[in-house]
Amino acid sequence: MIESHLPLAETAQGKLRGVVQDDILIWRGIPYAAPPTGELRWRAPQPVMPWSDIRDANTFSCASWQDIEYCKELGGGDPGAFSEDCLYLNVWSPGVRQQRLPVMVWLHGGGFTIGAGSLPPYDGVALAKRDVVVVTVNYRLGHLGFFAHPALDDEAGEKINNFALLDQIAALRWVQKNIAVFGGDPENVTLFGESAGARSVLSLLASPLGKGLFHKAIIQSGYTLPDTPRETALENGVALAEHFGLHQATTEQLRAIPPEAFWPLTAPLKIAPTPVSGDAVLPEPMLDVFLAARHHPVPIMIGSNSDEASVMAVFGVDLAGQIAKIRREQRLGLGIIKLLYPGVKGDEELGRQVCRDMAFTALGYVVMQAQQRVGEPCWRYWFDYVAESEHETYPNGAWHGNEVPYVFDTLMLAEPSRNYVNGNDRAFAAQVADYWVNFARHASRTCDTLDGPVRWPACVQGRDRLLRMGLHKHAGFRVENRFMRARLALFKRVMAHHVSLD
């Protein structure tokens, strides 16, 4: 028997029946593109075939193929079953709506190799209760999402290697066409993401194909690793084919490789945690575009966490070794580095802070200056809150990704936070989530201050301002001027120098 109170939404592709939770209407597992399987592997996403019956949208879809244990440990939880048929999204919408609401579209992180829009930290109920429509997106991961090979070049009308970015673009086009049915305003779409999701947001701000599909952007812990040049991606694709015994591989042979064969690959056959530059999706490297301020001009929020170096150990980065390398190669000048980090003792701690700022913090400074050149506001933040019972676990501050359940106000759903947070931690999370929703609702050229526990001014007209979220691991917010200015200006010059050499 069909329950008559379950919410129906009539999209351009057909009718969807969702579910209700805490007065929030939820539709899970909505297809936004055709399954990228068989002949559609390593092709741009194709339109969904319409359906005539009512389609149940009450369960999450499969995630793209990945390492399930790695995702459980570092990606935010259990992504569930895997399939190449993974191009689905999820929608949360308030049950009572007086007008079209701001839309927040989330791109998950995970180094472009793990994650899913269905993971517990990304549950949209708490944000939707603040009168926004939330969308989370699955996209192709690993070699299924980023791949180049001469055989594919020969069959394509244009060079495409960033299939995951094209998936995200297809999801945004779906939002433009359909979100009004769910109560959302297609003219007020905020694209936000963390880590690889943040890198995706940056890439779509730099891509000619991203123009006009979203109106604001939030970049959480984006990183400065250079994009993979297309020439390198082609070489890697040939090496991967040869690993599977395919010399002079054809497209048919490549597409016959089982999807589960890709994710266990190790370096050097793994993909880098960056998109490919030089194809039709990303003609120029993302950093080049921002250093030249040629990105799409929209209001931006950008920030990072106080212990982003926590993720570097996962990728085998020797923090103390990086300082030894600077000392050995005389890059930057160790004397300058020590002047910029007074009182920091030991190569391990110095390496932790230098690597954090070069790879993460400096990006906010680069984007801020690019925004000032195009006349758009930029809200910067520094997240340094650690749950009250966990100060010994996180002695150096907030780890990479720790801010996500605060942004979504999902501390009681996410692991491991649900096991140790208290009322003060939850109250702080509610305030962070309020800032994000206020940005989605109000940020514009004519509204450059966000309301909250403290008024958060944007960086405009040459003003370098930043909101500290968490003060010495305790709840609180404070606006600071010229935050780490000397360090970040130096690292930006280093980035620009490397761009000029390429």
34 forms beta bridges with none
CA–CA separation, 6 and 4 (whole Å)? 6
Identify the active-site residue in 61, 118, 195, 207: 195
64 belongs to the catalytic site? no
Who's near 313: CB < 8 A, 6+ residues apart?
319
Q: Is 304 a catalytic residue?
A: no
Active-site pick, 64, 149, 306, 308: 308
DSSP labels for 322-362? HHHHHHHHT-S-HHHHHHHSTT--SHHHHHHHHHHIIIIIH
Distances (CA, A) of 123 to 1, 106, 167: 28, 11, 21
Q: Which residue among the candidates 108, 118, 400, 417 is catalytic per the annotation?
A: 400
CB 251 within 8 A of CB 276: no
CA atoms of 407 and 413, how far apart (whole Å): 13
Query: What's the rounded Cα separation, in Å, for the pair 361 and 304?
Result: 6
DSSP code of residue 48:
P
Q: Based on the residue annotation, tell me whether 389 is a catalytic residue of this protein.
A: no
**3-state secondary structure (DSSP) of residue 194:** strand
Per-residue CA distances from 133 to 97, 106, 186 (Å):
10, 11, 11
Tokens of 463: 């003003």
Residues classed as catalytic = 195, 308, 400
